[in-house]
Amino acid sequence: MAHTIRQIAAALGAEAAGALDLVVLRAAEPAQAGPQDLALAMDAKYADGLAQGAAQAAVLWPGADWQGLGLKAAIFVPRPRLAMAGITRVLDPGPEVAPGIHPLAVIDPTAQIGPGAAIGPFVVIGRDVRIGARARIASHASIAEGAVIGDDALIHAGVRICHHVTIGHRLVAQPGAVIGSDGFSFVTPEKSGVEEIRATLGERDEIRQQAWVRIHSVGGVDVGDDVEIGANATVDRGTIRATRIGRGTKLDNMVHIGHNVQVGQDCLLCGQVGVAGSSRIGDRVVLGGQCGVSDNISVGSDVIAGGATKIFTNVPAGLVILGSPAVKMETQIEINKALRRLPRLMQTVAELRKIVTGSVQKDGAETEGT
């Protein structure tokens, strides 16, 4: 898509200089940028790359000598990553879904489709579904009966939105996401081995046969406005009450949200995070990749958990945690330092044991001689 430097600067709310009507087609790293590319050199350390490429325009750091860098136009941004959000938003056309409803889409007559929607081939939309204005739904997506989706949704190929799921405005669902699958909830007629171990912390009176009886999921899923669901992420429906994802929360690829979980607003859950059933996640919580949250616990607002942290107990608001089991990050760093010292410590202990053993033997020989 073609944009002028003036248009991009206006979208960013940024200062620009030079030939503002210069047209660019895409963004590129400085060394690889061609004449129709917008080079991204938002830090002085990337300036040398501009000489290797052929860009006529670039996004630069404030106060950069754009003319001295051989450019015809420049945009100046103080916060590079925030600028990246704006630049990519302007340049990203999204998936190509033709306006209107494709003839190969299957839509129940009772479904309500908002104005300006674009629905691709092989999309299936069930009974009493309501979809807001300007939705874009790519091929092979399915939306089951009773689901409600707000305005300006972007639903990529192969997304599954299950029955009676309610979603706010501006949803982004990446390919393969599943919203509203049944929760993983089973029970045994008698107390199970798992229940016994939880109560005794490891002791078992006997091992006996047991069969699992399914607890059905009759709750739904409620998703707030401006939520993004990553590729192959899954959000299970609640058992009785709805599973909830708060406004502005972003789920990365392959995140799993269990049944009855309540996730707050503006959270960031990175790849392969798993949150077990009935846990509660506060607002603005960040869980790094491969974090795990045990069932029926609470993680307070503004908690940040480093990658691979395993959370087994309640976490107060505002803590920064790391490790398995999770502890304060500074504590885990000291634990890691101590672990690295263990081989040297063990060697020291072995040497001391030799000295002590030798001394004892020597003392014993002297005692016998006396």
As annotated, the active-site residues are: 259
Q: Which string of DSSP letters, residue by residue, matches 75-129?
A: EE-S-HHHHHHHHHHHH---S---SEE-TT-EE-TT-EE-TT-EE-TT-EE-TT-
Give backbone dihedrals phi and psi of 239, rounded to 5 degrees, phi first.
-70, -55
Contact 322, 303 (CB under 8 A): no
Q: Hey, what's the torsion of the CAs at 9, 15, 18, 22, to 10 degrees?
A: 0
CA 274 – CA 53 distance, rounded (Å) = 43
- Cα angle for residues 203, 207, 210 (degrees, 5° grid): 120
- Burial level of 270, CB count in 10 A (0-12/13-18/19+)? buried
Q: Closest by alpha carbon to 180, among 259, 237, 256?
A: 237
Give backbone dihedrals phi and psi of 7, rounded to 5 degrees, phi first.
-65, -45
The partner residues of 23 in beta bridges, in order of sequence, read 4
Written as six digits, the tokens of 244 are: 């909830």
CA 139 – CA 123 distance, rounded (Å) = 6
CA 305 – CA 291 distance, rounded (Å) = 7
What is the total residue count of the chain? 370
CA 179 – CA 164 distance, rounded (Å) = 10
Q: Which residues contact 349 (CB under 8 A, 6 or more apart)?
A: none
